[in-house]
Amino acid sequence: MRAVTGAYLLYLAAPIMLLFVGSFGASWTGTLLPSGFTTKWYIEVFTDPSFQRAFKTSLIVVLCTCVLNTLIGLPLAYAINTAARSGVKVAARIVSLLPIAVPELVLAFGFILVFSSDTLPFLGTTWLLVLAHVVLTLPYLLNVLLADMASLGLDDLERVAATLGASFRSRFLDIVLPGLQHSLLTGLITVAAISIGEFQLSNLVAGFLSRTYPVVLLQAFYGATGFACAATVILLVLAILAAAAGAFTARAAQTG
């Protein structure tokens, strides 16, 4: 058992370790490990204008996705949870889970069809990219929130708060939001992680000047190995940063 676990962990970690090593290697062609030590790949990535732009785009997209998810997901989850009829709940759940079930490629083609028309010519804008990410990530946040609402017994807490004289506003601010703060946080971290690494949909929907980091990263693999490794390591760091940003947004959302 221990051997299997160890092997699995090695299998998981090895590519990441290799990426890390490769990003500092001076030359890496045909051998198992690169030779020499250099930081030039990082400098190259950082000074590359298209990477700079992609980096910025990704951060904006992640941040906006988190904010929109909070603004849409929280009331939506609340509405689904308090919907009186169970039929409404089931329907809402199915609709909200669809984006997970439908292949991203299908979603992307749908987006292209709708938004390349003359009436809705938004293909290639950053806003459309954010919207696509929201569609993609909202179900994950919803699931986390709904599960937490059920385990908290939020219905009962709200009912009791109502009998104690709390208005809807008080109940939402005093009971619902504080009760959900942890699940909102974890949900947003998931959202940020998905958004930052998302490739399929972004690759098809993003305009040339609003490409996200993973989309630009693909180009790097046609060039020097060290450069590609450095760019990938940055994506890794970016993903971690995104998680932190998600946490930060959550905290800001509940205090504000």
Partner 1 sequence: MPILFEAVSFAYPGTQTGVRAIDLAVGDGELVALIGPSGSGKSTCLKLLAGFYRPDHGRINVDGHDVDTLSPERRRLGIVFQHYALFPHMSTRDNVAYPLKVRGVTRAERRRAADEMLDRVGLSDLGDRAPKTLSGGQQQRVALARALVFKPRALLLDEPLSALDAGLRVAMRDEIRRVQREAGIATIHVTHDQEEALSIADRVAIMSDGAIVQIGKPDEVYDRPRTRFVARFVGQANFWPGMVGEENQVETPIGRLRHTQEGVRPGDKVLVLVRPERLDLFFEDHKTPPPNYFKGHVTQDRFLGSIRRFDFAVAGNLIRVETRNRAAPSAVAIPPDAVRLLPPDDNENKKGELS
Q: Tell me which residues touch partner 1 (CB under 8 A).
A: 152-153, 156-157, 159-167, 170, 174-175, 178-179, 181
- Residue 161 CB, shortest distance to partner 1, in Å, is 7
Using only C-alpha atoms, what is the Rg of the chain?
A: 22
Task: Considering the complex, state which of residue 67 and residue 162 has its C-beta at the smaller distance from partner 1.
Answer: 162
- Residue 141 CB, shortest distance to partner 1, in Å, is 20
- Residue 151 CB, shortest distance to partner 1, in Å, is 11
Q: What are phi and psi of 39, to 5 degrees?
A: -115, 10
Q: Label residue 123 left, alpha or beta by phi (over 0 means left) and psi (-120 to 50 means alpha).
A: beta
- Residue 70 CB, shortest distance to partner 1, in Å, is 19
Residue corresponding to tokens 């989309």: 215
- Residue 15 CB, shortest distance to partner 1, in Å, is 41
Task: Considering the complex, state which of residue 95 and residue 160 has its C-beta at the smaller distance from partner 1.
Answer: 160
E runs forming strands in the chain = 25-27, 35-37
Tell me which amino acid residue 215 is.
Answer: V
Task: Considering the complex, state which of residue 118 and residue 156 has its C-beta at the smaller distance from partner 1.
Answer: 156
- The span from the CA of 63 to the CA of 47, in Å, is 23
Task: Considering the complex, state which of residue 160 and residue 237 has its C-beta at the smaller distance from partner 1.
Answer: 160
Q: What are phi and psi of 121, to 5 degrees?
A: -85, 65
Task: Considering the complex, state which of residue 149 and residue 205 has its C-beta at the smaller distance from partner 1.
Answer: 149
- Residue 147 CB, shortest distance to partner 1, in Å, is 16
The closest alpha carbon to 70, from 59, 62, 81, 58, belongs to: 62
Task: Considering the complex, state which of residue 161 and residue 239 has its C-beta at the smaller distance from partner 1.
Answer: 161
Q: Are strands 35-37 and 25-27 parallel, antiparallel or unpaired?
A: antiparallel
